[in-house]
């Protein structure tokens, strides 16, 4: 196994940061429980650096970089899905009233 380069975890950390920023946007817009389509889209954009990190981990043959990147992909997708689904449900409920 190769040693990871110092910046090999940066894409995964950027993905986690974008997902957390999506949660912050949802909180600022009112409530995380009501979701946020904007926050969900921003969190979904975090998948791009996470996938790059996975590719980089495969290229370097490092388990830590690959594992962190896979975790960041799953986390960003989960946050994005929850925020978007809750946002759509919230919009639907507001339009019914």
Q: Give the pTM.
A: 0.84
- Could you give the CA distance from residue 67 to residue 33 in angstroms, rounded to a whole number? 29
Residues 34-47, mean pLDDT to the nearest whole number: 92
Confidence bin at 19 (pLDDT 50/70/90): very high
Over residues 50-75, the pLDDT tens digits come to 999 999 989 988 888 899 999 999 99
Residue given tokens 């817009």 in the structure block: 29
| Residue 11: predicted pLDDT | 92
Question: Could you tell me if 57 and 73 are in contact, meaning their C-beta atoms sit under 8 angstroms apart?
Answer: no
- Could you give the CA distance from residue 90 to residue 36 in angstroms, rounded to a whole number? 9
């Amino acid at each position: 196994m190769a040693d990871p380069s110092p910046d090999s975890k940066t894409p995964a950390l950027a993905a986690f940061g974008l997902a957390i920023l999506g949660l912050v946007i949802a909180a600022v817009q009112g409530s995380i429980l009501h979701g946020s389509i904007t926050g969900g889209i921003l969190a979904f954009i975090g998948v791009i650096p996470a996938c790059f990190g996975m590719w980089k981990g495969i290229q370097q043959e490092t388990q830590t970089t690959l594992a962190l990147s896979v975790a960041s992909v799953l986390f960003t997708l989960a946050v994005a899905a929850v925020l978007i689904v809750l946002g759509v449900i919230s919009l639907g409920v507001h339009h019914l009233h």
